[in-house]
Amino acid sequence: MRVWAQDETQAPWVHDQVEKIAEQRKPADWEDAKSELINSDCSPGQTALQLMARGVAYGMKGDHDRAIAEYNEAIRLDPKLSTAFYNRGTAYLHKGDHDRGIADFDEAIRLEPNDAFLFAARGGAYGLKEQYDRALADYGEAMRLSPKETHLSPEIDASFLCGRGEVYLGKGDEDCAIADFDQAIRLDPKAAPAFFSRGRAHNNKGHHDRAIADLDEAIRLNAKKCDYFCARGDAYLDKGDNDRAIADYDDAIRLEPNFPRAIFFRRQAILRKGDELAGGPSTEAPSESTNSQKCSTDTCDAPDATGTAEIEGNAARKGRSRYRIDHPILG
């Protein structure tokens, strides 16, 4: 979460506070980290920044309601603190309130119209709402404004390209999506989200081996993402390799036991494997009409550990569907 202030004399103070929090992410350290922020000495002019940094502490803990309360107070004290609007907007996105998030990004952009990150944040929010044309316009502006002079600019540009690629993927334009992911990987060869997204795009086009190669690399770079294993399981399932698909879905469920997508398609792989053993119709790779990109209805019910979990049907494998996409801000 971005927390620096537009006033360069204040930025180091905020940065130091958040760095202290970031270094203490273990749950046992959270109370100490929060207490340090709450009790730290600060001048009256820094009060809004202290509240904003405290909001970040709550946000990193996952307590977005308290984070929003801190940002509200920071904004009351300093209505021109654009980063408070930015951070509150990201908190609203975490809560699934895209409209309020966009409203906060609108205000932040009004205050700081040349900030690339603000346009990327709003573009990501529009993408989550499936307002793809607005999302593409914002990502285009973010890349135009991207701070080329900083040593982080390749990674920044790569994250923006990944975000825009996801928008193209949501629109069903796999070729434009792959072009953006290609460029993101050239800029940042360690960008696991780019390999994950490009792999999904290749799989949508029926290029299963390319998809698996990309998803292998995504998992090598970050083996803690259940979505990466699930996406590779999808590629194996579409290729007709049910055993490897089941193994990947197992890994995804191990990382997140109530992941509806992995649970549902693991069941499909097991059923197809049973058909194979019985000499039934699933002895070959599934066709376009029967593969796991399709369901007979718009939604299907997938059993999970607590009952049932609804997952998307016809859109189950394309666009944003039920993967947790790496938003350029939310990660």
The confidence band for 323, taking pLDDT boundaries of 50, 70 and 90, is low
Asked if residue 203 belongs to a domain, the reply is no
- Residue whose tokens read 């080329």: 148
**The domain that contains 302 carries what CATH number?**
1.25.40.10
Tokens of 125: 């929010």
Asked if residue 166 belongs to a domain, the reply is no
The confidence band for 146, taking pLDDT boundaries of 50, 70 and 90, is confident
Asked if residue 306 belongs to a domain, the reply is yes
In this predicted structure, the answer to whether residue 13 has a pLDDT above a threshold of 90 is no
Per-residue confidence (pLDDT) for residue 27, from 0 to 100: 41
| Structural domain of 309 | 224-331
DSSP state of 328: T
Number of domains in the chain: 2
Alpha-carbon dihedral of residues 90, 96, 97, 103, nearest 10 degrees? 30
- Last residue of one domain, picked from the residues 81, 111, 141: 111
Asked if residue 140 belongs to a domain, the reply is no
Mean pLDDT across 311-324: 42
Q: How far is CA 64 from CA 13, 32, 54, 305, in A?
A: 23, 19, 11, 26
Whether 81 contacts 52, CB under 8 Å = yes
- Last residue of one domain, picked from the residues 111, 127, 143: 111
199-235 pLDDT, tens digit each = 999 999 999 999 999 999 999 999 999 999 999 999 9
Mean pLDDT across 242-259: 96
Asked if residue 315 belongs to a domain, the reply is yes
Asked if residue 133 belongs to a domain, the reply is no
Which of the given ranges, 43-47, 175-179, 255-259, has the highest pLDDT on average?
A: 175-179
158-171 pLDDT, tens digit each = 999 999 999 999 99
Asked if residue 103 belongs to a domain, the reply is yes
Asked if residue 175 belongs to a domain, the reply is no
Mean pLDDT across 111-131: 94
**How far is the C-alpha of 133 from the C-alpha of 231, rounded, in Å?**
26
Per-residue confidence (pLDDT) for residue 330, from 0 to 100: 53
- Last residue of one domain, picked from the residues 59, 87, 111: 111
Whether 127 contacts 135, CB under 8 Å = yes
Q: How far is CA 278 from CA 272, 274, 275, 282, 285, in A?
A: 10, 6, 5, 9, 16
**How far is the C-alpha of 266 from the C-alpha of 249, rounded, in Å?**
6
- Residue 297 sits at φ, ψ, to 5 deg, of -130, 175
Task: Categorise residue 318: left if φ over 0, alpha if ψ from -120 to 50, beta otherwise.
Answer: beta
Per-residue confidence (pLDDT) for residue 231, from 0 to 100: 97
70-84, 170-184, 313-327: which range is least confident on average? Answer: 313-327
Question: What is this structure's pTM?
Answer: 0.75
